[in-house]
Amino acid sequence: MQLTRSLTTRCSLGQDVAGLPLLTIDNDFAKARVSLFGAHVLSYQRHGEPASIWLSDKAVLDGNKPIRGGIPVCWPWFGQPPARVGSGKPAHGFARTTLWSLDGVSERNDGTLIHLSMRDSEATHALWPHSFTLELDVMVGKALSLVLTTRNTGNAPLIYSAALHSYLHISAPENVSVAGLGELYTGILIPREARQQGDLRLHGAIDRIYHQPESTITVRDGKRITQVVSSNNDSVVVWTPWLEGATAMADMSSDGYRTMLCVEAAITDQAGVTVPSEGEHYLSTTII
């Protein structure tokens, strides 16, 4: 039986097709859906505008695998597990495949604010030996804003890396240019350093860590302008799998790459961020 319950006048809690808890927000500014599986923003669309966030039409939403599209929370490591974590652990950490708790929803003049959290458990200790609380505040308003706060509740320092892996919806790659990435980048697939000349245009697969980004990245898509504003990140990751990559992924249609571009506020430095015992650190992104 499908049960949906209103939490506020603008936000209800129901279930997705697989029965996982799903928040649906429809306020004066926008519509959005947020799954508690991974604290994953699945969609965000301002009224009268095209969708800002892309979700794969083949995304697996049954809780058995990370969701392709939306905004995966990559934490406590970005990409393949670093040496300090050890091999054989899931790419992009475990936050995106954990069921989070809903701590509260409130209506404000500028939108709907959702508080989500997860904490360490036997399952997380098997992958990462730290005590922590991880919180995600999602603001659905005229902009979509995410603040990820890592709180160290253990006695020893913890080191983390992360990304708010935003899949932006685009009209077509040939219409898109990206400004504000800065010059220096490292390729992820072919690890080599290179320099960006001018704005980024999309002509093939891209998987890059930009090390000197401005706080605002501007994505021009024809007449449409999307800004990705980040803070406390050390880099911005840009990813498009292009045709070969999309075809190789079971959870993306082969032409799926034509309508998405990932622009991610990230902490990718090998050294990570050290959070002392009882300390906290946040990473945020706002999509305008």
- State the residues that interact with ligand TA6 by CB under 6 A: 66, 79, 91-92, 165, 188, 207, 237, 239, 262, 264
- Give the Cα separation of 248 and 57 in Å (integer): 15
Nearer to ligand TA6, 199 or 251 (CB): 251
Angle among Cα 210, 213, 214 to the nearest 5 degrees reads 165
Helix (H, G, I), strand (E, B) or coil at 83: coil
Nearer to ligand TA6, 36 or 74 (CB): 74
To ligand TA6, the closest distance from the beta carbon of 81 in angstroms equals 12
Distances (CA, A) of 113 to 17, 23, 226, 267, 283: 24, 12, 21, 24, 17
Nearer to ligand TA6, 33 or 165 (CB): 165
DSSP line for 215-263: SEEEEEETTEEEEEEEES-SEEEEEE-HHHHHHH-TTS-TTGGGGEEEE
Nearer to ligand TA6, 92 or 151 (CB): 92
To ligand TA6, the closest distance from the beta carbon of 96 in angstroms equals 8
Distances (CA, A) of 51 to 54, 70, 109, 120, 226: 7, 11, 22, 34, 11
- Give the Cα separation of 266 and 233 in Å (integer): 5
Nearer to ligand TA6, 10 or 92 (CB): 92
Dihedral of CA atoms 14, 118, 103, 262 in degrees, nearest 10, equals: -60
Residue number of the CB atom closest to ligand TA6: 239
Helix (H, G, I), strand (E, B) or coil at 286: strand
Amino acid at 258: R
Nearer to ligand TA6, 15 or 196 (CB): 196
To ligand TA6, the closest distance from the beta carbon of 59 in angstroms equals 11
